[in-house]
Amino acid sequence: MTNDQTLRAEMVKTCRRMNETGINQGTAGNISVRNERGFLITPTSLPYDLMQPEDLVQMFFDGTFEGRRRPSSEWRFHRDILQARTDIDCVLHCHSVYATTLACHHKTIPSFHYMTGVAGGTTIRCARYATFGTQGLSDAALEALEGRLACLLGQHGQISLGKTMAAALALAVEVETLSRLYVQALTLGEPPILSDEEMARVLQQMKNMSYGQAPDLEGVNDTAQARGIDA
């Protein structure tokens, strides 16, 4: 298999995983991945269970494409995000139920739970509404994603980013989980919000762990080492 064939096969597998995890339904949602020529993107109006690797569309950053199908109607925000964010290689968009529920109310997810930090900040912002498939939606998404790896789209859905497809999918599932928790928490009233100071500690801890380092807050590993346990 060539690198292109391998990438295409992995994209189809990831798309089907989106349905299996429940974050996507029908032909909603789309995914793009950077490659040497530009980026590959899912085609418009094709169910994932029918999609084949050759159905994926090769796009270029000038907005042109080649392939036997037309690209997703949301190609603009895929292109603009990949062009602006050299730290990531995959853009995943879906209409997961709870994230979309919050997006319908234009609700940003605050740091009601420390895992909000998984998207890179103290909040997961909700972008202002813009018509799907337009440059306006792309501009709104870029604003909401500033300094973040995920956002909600007003009255639309969510976007999650990753260096890999696996990372983007895992983040999308986490955003949906947080959205569900937040919706449920709101039934009891507005939940307490973690302070920016605490979230700074959380974000640093997440950064440490992402580098393969074990947590080392308040002497936890000192105790483990004193007992001769590998941290």
CA distance 37 to 53: 17
CA distance 34 to 120: 21
Q: From the candidates 10, 36, 74, 218, which is the catalytic residue?
A: 74
CA distance 115 to 146: 18
Q: Could you tell me the two tokens for 118?
A: 């998984």
Residue 134: name the closest of 108, 105, 154 by CA: 154
Establish whether 74 is a catalytic residue: yes
In which residue are the tokens 């995959």 written?
90
- Catalytic positions, please? 74
